[in-house]
Chains A and B, each alone.
Chain A
Amino acid sequence: MKKLFLRSGGQWLFLLLLLASRSAGPLYAQSSSDAAFLSTVGQLRTAEFDAKDKIIDQVAQTGHPSVRPVLTAFLEGRLYYRTQDQKIFLVKAGEEDSTTLDLIDPLTLKPAGSASSDSLTKIVTNNHLRRTLQTTLARYGLSSPDAAVRLDSVRDIERDLDESNVQLLRARSGVETDPRVKEEIAAGLALAALDGSDARARLAAVSTLRNSLRQDVLNKLQGLIEKSPDGTFAESDERVRDAAAAAVKSITRRRNFYSGIETLFFGLSLGSVLVLIATGLAITFGVMGVINMAHGELMMLGAYTTYVVQVAMPSHGEISILVAIPAAFLVAALVGILIERTVIRFLYGRPLETLLATFGVSLILQQLVRSIFTALNRSVVTPNWMSGTLQVNDALSITYNRLYIVIFTMMVFAALLVVLKRTRMGLEIRAVSQNRAMAKAMGIRSEWVDAMTFGLGSGIAGIAGVALSQLTNVNPSLGQSYIIDSFLVVVFGGVGNLWGAMTGGMSMGIVNELLEPYAGAVLAKIFVLIALILFIQIRPRGLFPPTGRASENQ
Chain B
Amino acid sequence: MPPRQYTLWISARKDSGSAWFLGGLALIVIVVPILNLVVPASSAFHISPYGLALIGKYLCYALLALAVDLIWGYCGILSLGHAAFFALGGYAMGMYLMREIGPRGVYGDPVLPDFMVFLNYKSLPWFWHGFNHFGFALLMVVLVPGLLALAFGWFAFRSRVTGVYLSIITQALTYALMLAFFRNDMGFGGNNGFTDFKDILGFDLDSGRVRLVLLVITAFMLAASYLICRMIVSSRAGRVIRAIRDAESRARFLGYRVESFKLWIFVFSAVLAGIAGALYVPQIGIINPSEFAPINSIEVVIWVAVGGRGTLYGAAAGALLVNYAKTYFTSALPEIWNYALGALFVLVTLFLPRGIIGLVQGREKKPGKTQRLPIQTGSPEPSEE
Contacts and interface: CB of A to CB of B under 8 A. Distances in A.
Interface size class of chain A, counting residues whose CB lies under 8 Å from the partner chain: 35 or more
Interface in A454-495: 480, 484, 487-488, 491, 495
A537 B161 contact: yes
Contacts, number: 156
B320 interface: no
Interface stretch (B34-42, B134-142, B251-259, B294-302): B294-302
A484 B177 CA distance: 14
Contacts of B173: 529, 533
Contacts of A480: 295
B342 A526 contact: no
A371 interface: yes
Interface string B323-366: 00000000000010011011111101110010000000000000
A289 B346 contact: no
Contacts of B375: 350, 352-353
B343 A553 contact: no
Contact of A363 (B158, B335, B345): B345
A540 B343 CA distance: 34
B164 A359 contact: no
A530 B301 contact: no
Contacts of B171: 484, 487
A415 interface: no
B298 A540 contact: no
Interface stretch (A138-146, A154-162, A340-348): A340-348
Interface string B374-385: 011111111111
Given A522-B179, A533-B173, A536-B169, A349 B345 contact: no
A504 B74 CA distance: 33
B175 interface: yes
Contact of B339 (A364, A525, A540): A364
Contact of A371 (B164, B335, B377): B335
Interface string A269-308: 0000000000000000100010101000000000000000
A530 B342 contact: no
B172 A349 contact: no
A436 interface: yes
Nearest to B345: A360
A347 B350 contact: yes
Interface of B: 78, 152, 155-156, 158-165, 167-169, 171-173, 175-176, 179-180, 182-183, 294-295, 298, 301-302, 305, 335, 338-339, 341-346, 348-350, 353, 375-385
20 contacts: A349-B382, A350-B379, A352-B377, A353-B375, A356-B302, A356-B305, A359-B345, A363-B342, A364-B346, A436-B381, A484-B294, A488-B172, A522-B179, A526-B176, A526-B179, A529-B172, A533-B155, A536-B169, A537-B161, A538-B159
Q: Which 9 A-B pairs have the closest CB atoms?
A: A360-B345, A289-B380, A363-B342, A367-B338, A364-B342, A349-B379, A529-B176, A360-B346, A357-B349
